[in-house]
Amino acid sequence: MEYSSENTICAPIDEELFESTFKSHFQALYAYACMLVKDEDEAEEIVQTVFLKIWEKRENIAITSSLKAYLYQMVYRDSMNHLRHQKVKQKHQNITLHEANDNGIQLDEGHEGELMEVLKKALQDLPEKCRKVFLLSRYESLKYQEIADRLGISVKTVETHMSKALKHLRIELADFLPILFILFTNS
């Protein structure tokens, strides 16, 4: 990565310059993402993903504005995408709970909250890649090939992660299995 006098990137990025750019901009971008998404873990992941995208496209990237402006723009865009995704996911969860009620399963507020807490904990207990595969499949409705492409893993690995996730959830959520069966087969 080579800087011109206006702090634009004109040549392919080398590892040393990329690392120094990451170190010098990470904290400010992280604070900005935290302000936008109001979640420290998500903010960190957003900023790291921005830098990962830059690194992966380093051969073809040409930043014509200032590097700082470009980075903030990418963090803003990815943060807004994250927030939109969270809204869709929440709406989807609400719809599937209503479908469960429509199918004869009545959940009072206490049981609905308990189910969501148990499900959230069970998902958090999964290994990170396994959880990502499960969420991409169930909440973004991606096919195994699409998940494999997005995560840079084989379809067989996606299948293994899904199998592991479903087995773990069946064990952890045994008390809620009838409800979960309706939730996940209707979505």
Task: Tell me what pLDDT residue 51 has.
Answer: 92
Task: Tell me what pLDDT residue 89 has.
Answer: 74
Task: Tell me what pLDDT residue 177 has.
Answer: 56
Residues 144/159, Cβ–Cβ less than 8 Å: yes
Pick the CATH number of 103-186 from 1.10.10.10, 3.90.550.10, 3.30.70.1140, 3.20.20.70: 1.10.10.10
Chunked in runs of 10, what are the mean pLDDT values of the chain (187 residues)? 45 77 94 91 93 87 84 93 83 56 46 71 86 86 89 91 86 65 52
Residues 132/152, Cβ–Cβ less than 8 Å: no
Output the CATH code of domain 15-79. 1.10.1740.10
- Whole-model pTM? 0.46
Domain with CATH 1.10.10.10 in the chain: 103-186
Task: Tell me what pLDDT residue 45 has.
Answer: 93
Tell me the C-alpha distance between 140 and 142, whole Å: 5
